[in-house]
Structure 1
Amino acid sequence: MFSIFRQNDTGKVVAMDRFRSGASLSPIRQAEAYWSALRDGAEIPFRSQIDPRGLEQVLEYAFILERVAPGVGRFRLAGQHLCQLAGMEVRGMPVTSFFTTDGREGMAAMLEYVFDTPAVAELCLTGERQSLRGPCEARMILLPLKSDLGDCSRILGVLVADGDFGRAPRRFDIVDTQIRDLAAGVESREPAQKAVQGFAEAQTVLGGKAPWLRLVKTDE
């Protein structure tokens, strides 16, 4: 059975299996469970808390992003699944390199919202249509992390794709998003096109952040 780990105050690695069953979880759910286990109340985990042993079953799908400019997150670490999709080593590349021209604007806006709110975002993706390649679908989760300085400028993410990869880089469009505002307990699910438009609007709603968000009561 897959085990989720965290570092306790004494530095000892302890199992976190009790949080979720683990065996039947997808890589995205496993990464989310591990990240949630690291949270101290409502606090965002630090990048330094991420232990590869806690993600050993999903490392090939996992990545760490660093915020280097507004809307720009570069890969600090990335698993083999992402390198296979890109057809090359992706460390140092921007995460938007996995997206089509239309999808990059939405991804850049999503990064800013995850960092600034902070929030957890899940994206449903579809591969760009190519005459010589079959369909490819993917899902991605973005989980915010703090740097050693305490600012929210890192992301633990997972990208899982299924379909025709081929050897050439595979790029995606965003078809659906689900966002959870960690500070306010707000959850929203909107089509990608609507979400991108909302990020670009200048209206002052919900503190000026993502005017398209729809409030949903949660049990958290």
Structure 2
Amino acid sequence: MFFGSRSGTEMTSSQDKVVSMNRFRKGGPLSPLRQAEAYWTALRRGDDVPSRSQIDPRGLENILSHTFILERIAPGIARFRLAGSLVNGMAGMEVRGMPITAFFTTDARKQLSSAMEHMFETPAIVELELQIEAPRLRSPREARMLMLPLRSDLGDISRVLGVLVADDGETVTSQRFSISSIEMRAVGKATGTAGFKAKPRPDAATPAAKEERRDVNRPNPGFAETQARFKPERSILDEAKALLERSRAARPAAPADAPAAAPAKPKGAPHLRLVVSRD
């Protein structure tokens, strides 16, 4: 759809402009960037950066052709791990395994490497405004790229969720980008989240640490009742001595004027008695 004037009409020259409505029919070229950033923000936990394993293609179903995943392999260098059909179409080939700097001109590669290092180290969100080198007999086109940092399975920030959008007019030849502007936004702490803080452990030389080591099973009065502590168990010999002392204490004492009992005759050794009868 076009708005404008035709030759031979009475319209003024101020209305003699042409505005393409293709961009508005598709919801704007920046909608995939905003959708990806909203999805990435929803995956954050507190002020942490989402991990690569959290990315689900179903959450980016509408913009999969625009998305790509990068892996950091060296300072300022990242290669494609996955890429959508639009990204492959811009390169004119399968880009998996290629460095992202292959898309850019020589002068733009240094700017891109510096921006990626800032993204990994800070971390930060990087949004690039790009200019596509026009093929022959074609007008220059614009593109935008968004890069969102991710954590790897090892916990380091070395992955990127990226989105690329470009104006209409794809060609079968590979495209090269020059950078018009770079916007970097540091990943700040999410509001309304309370950070977890562990209880500081006392110094080993302080009296509090010695008391904690001496009574490690002491319950918390706010969560448990005070329990009686275990006593060491007495041995069998101690039990026998205690029993003997109780039996002696219960035995009555003999009177002083009582005659002494006759000593018992010692019993001889057992023997065999032989009886002989002559009857």
Fold shared by both chains (TM-score > 0.5): yes
| Aligned-residue offset at 1:129 | 4.1
| Aligned-residue offset at 1:23 | 11
Distance 1:119 1:85 in 2: 26
Does the alignment pair 1:71 with 2:76?
A: yes
Match of 2:129 in 1: 124
Distance 1:50 1:94 in 2: 21
Distance 1:156 1:142 in 2: 6
State the Cα RMSD in Å.
2.1
Does the alignment pair 1:99 with 2:104?
A: yes
Distance 1:168 1:97 in 2: 14
| Aligned-residue offset at 1:136 | 1.7
Change (3 A) 1:170 1:52: same
- Name the aligned partner's letter for residue 141 of structure 2: C
Distance 2:188 2:74 in 1: 23
Match of 2:154 in 1: 149
* Uncovered stretches (5+) of structure 1, i.e. residues with no partner: 1-21, 186-220
Distance 1:146 1:67 in 2: 11
Alignment deviations for residues 140-180 of structure 1 (CA, whole Å, 9 cap, x no partner):
10100000110000000101111433111101111011111
Which structure dedicates a bigger proportion of its chain to strand? 1
Q: Secondary structure at the match of 2:62?
A: coil
Distance 1:69 1:156 in 2: 17
Match of 2:178 in 1: 173
* Uncovered stretches (5+) of structure 2, i.e. residues with no partner: 1-26, 191-279
| Aligned-residue offset at 1:24 | 10
1:61 to 47, 66, 74: 66
Does the alignment pair 1:37 with 2:42?
A: yes
Conserved in 2, the CA contact under 8 Å of 1:142 and 1:157?
yes
Conserved in 1, the CA contact under 8 Å of 2:46 and 2:189?
no
Conserved in 2, the CA contact under 8 Å of 1:77 and 1:91?
yes
Change (3 A) 1:56 1:171: same
Distance 1:57 1:162 in 2: 18
Distance 1:151 1:128 in 2: 35
Distance 1:77 1:180 in 2: 24
Q: Secondary structure at the match of 1:40?
A: coil
| Aligned-residue offset at 1:134 | 2.8
Change (3 A) 1:151 1:124: same
* Mean CA deviation greater in 89-98 or 175-184: 175-184
Match of 1:47 in 2: 52
Q: Secondary structure at the match of 1:57?
A: helix
Change (3 A) 1:50 1:23: farther
1:161 to 159, 166, 174: 166
Distance 1:24 1:166 in 2: 18
Instruction: Name the TM-score, length of structure 2 as normaliser.
Output: 0.56
- Name the aligned partner's letter for residue 89 of structure 2: Q
Q: After the TM superposition, which parts of structure 1 deviate over 3 Å for at least 4 consecutive aligned residues? A: 22-25, 129-133
Distance 1:99 1:25 in 2: 20
Distance 2:164 2:141 in 1: 13
Distance 1:30 1:61 in 2: 11
Q: Secondary structure at the match of 2:58?
A: helix
- Name the aligned partner's letter for residue 102 of structure 2: S
Match of 1:213 in 2: none
